[in-house]
Amino acid sequence: MPGAADLPGPVETAASVDRSRRRRGVVLVLAHTLWLWLLLPPATAIVRGQVHPVTVAAVGLALFALLYLALVAVPVAGLAVRPALHHAGLALLALLGVALAAAYAGASEGWLALLMYVCSAGAVGLVQVGWGFGWVVGSVVAVLVIGGARRLPADNTAQIALITLLAGAMTLAFARVARLVDELRRTQRELARTVVERERLRFAKDLHDLLGHTLSLVVVKAEVVRRLAPTDPQRATVEAADIERIGRTALAEVREAVTGYREHSFSRELDNARTVLADVGITVAVRTGGQLDVETDDVFAWVLREGVTNVLRHSRASRCDIEVDTDAGGSMLTVRDNGVGGRPTFGNGLRGLTERLEQAGGTLEVGPARGGGLLLTVRVSTSRIARVTR
């Protein structure tokens, strides 16, 4: 029995899906056209003049075949037809099929086959399973009633009723599978779009964190060069060389981020923090304990980068303490400075860190530190990391 379509790939565009559906619709309509060979016995009876009036039977049979193909084309080809109009067409097909079968089944049992087409059209076109099942049962009952009323052989009538039932059941099952496949296709396309959007957001966060930190450092170094140039040209030259080195490193990191092979470890970020803060005259005290797992290492690296960037930009601090504590329950990173403190501004950097930590099962707290300055605290639970990574 002709019916559902194949499942396309999840990254197909809407235009390609529409073209594919139209091609499949044409193929399926042609398949249903070939299935009309079961109408040959009624057509033969008309040609031989076994039914009267012949003109009415011929016109009725031709209208029935055309209406059947039109109604089948609506669901299989995805034609834009109002449900009310489609349902009215099904009702007209059923009335025409029952009328022709009741009028001419006495001359040829092949006229009862029209009810198989009525059954199939309803099973394909009715979306609700209950209505489709009722339509199939009604078609089978119509075969039995007309066969009994026309005093046709019971075995022939039962055979046609069984074929009608099987055809309707198969069509219902096939139509249901087709609708599930279409739903799965739409879900796959939506998931593909979601994955792309998430990857774009992830890359935007990475690029912001990379360039935000580096450009802040370049600005700080440039200010140092500007102050030293009149009084200490040699030191200014060294600082300018550092700006060049930082720029080349940032360029390499951006290239690595684009290609997806960027190594971004907490230990590397900790070394960079020591160097950068010391270069601008901020004393750094680092205390670490325990081994970080892969997920926590990556998260802490981004947190430390953003924390150091905030110290460079806003704190005007002379000291920065970085501490890492790890135990069986999880890991905690704190970044404390003795600067001007105040309420933190949740810009893109801190918002990005909050989203990263939510994905990793961690929490972020930023607020004034005791004795002045700002305190940034990150906690990541080992159990939550385990759930995220599974």
Note whether 329 and 386 are within 8 A (CB).
Answer: no
Enumerate the H helices of the chain as residue ranges.
14-34, 40-47, 54-76, 83-104, 114-125, 129-149, 154-228, 233-259, 266-279, 294-310, 348-360, 382-389
Q: For the chain, give the mean pLDDT.
A: 78
* Pairing of the two strands 283-288 and 319-327: parallel
Is residue 321 classed as helix, strand or coil in its secondary structure?
A: strand
- The 10 Å Cβ neighbour count of residue 389 is 11
Most confident among 91-105, 304-318, 355-369 (mean pLDDT): 91-105
- To 10 degrees, what angle do helices 154-228 and 233-259 make? 170
Residue 161: pLDDT over 80:
yes
| Close Cβ partners of 195 (under 8 Å, ≥ 6 residues apart) | none
Residue 214's identity, in one-letter code, is: T
Region 245-257 average pLDDT:
74
What are the tens digits of pLDDT across the range 3-12?
A: 433 333 334 4
> Per residue in 347-383, pLDDT tens?
556 677 777 777 777 888 888 888 788 899 999 887 5
Which residues sit opposite 324 in a β-bridge?
288, 333
Q: What is the pLDDT of residue 31?
A: 67
The token duo for 349 is: 């950097």
Q: Convert the pLDDT of each residue in 37-85 to its tens digit.
A: 878 888 888 888 888 888 888 898 899 888 888 888 777 666 677 888 8
Classify 89 in phi/psi space as left (phi over 0), alpha (psi -120 to 50) or beta.
alpha
Distance CA 38, CA 243 (A): 84
* Comparison of pLDDT for 33 and 160, the residue scoring more: 160
Of 99-103, 196-200, 267-271, least confident by mean pLDDT is 196-200
Q: Which residue has the tokens 């398949």?
A: 31
Burial of 228 (0-12, 13-18, 19+ CB in 10 A): middle
Question: Cα separation of 149 and 210, whole Å?
Answer: 84
Whether the per-residue pLDDT at 208 is higher than 60: the answer is yes
For residue 321, the model assigns a pLDDT of 92
Is pLDDT of 262 > 60? no
- Strands of the sheet containing 330-337, edge to edge, are 283-288, 319-327, 330-337, 374-381, 362-368
Q: Which two tokens stand for residue 263?
A: 């190594």
Structure tokens at 120: 């199939």
- Categorize the per-residue pLDDT at 2 as very low, low, confident or very high, splitting at 50, 70 and 90: very low
pLDDT for 279-302, tens place per residue? 778 899 999 877 888 778 888 888
Read off the pLDDT of each residue in 221-242 and give the average, rounded to a whole number: 84
Residue 323 clears pLDDT 90, i.e. is over it: yes
The pLDDT of residue 3: 40
Asked if residue 296 lies in contact with residue 361, where contact means CB atoms within 8 angstroms, the answer is no
Above 90 in pLDDT, residue 322?
A: yes
Give the pLDDT confidence score for residue 324 in this predicted structure.
92
| Percentage of residues in the chain having pLDDT higher than 70 | 80
Mean of pLDDT values over 328-338: 88
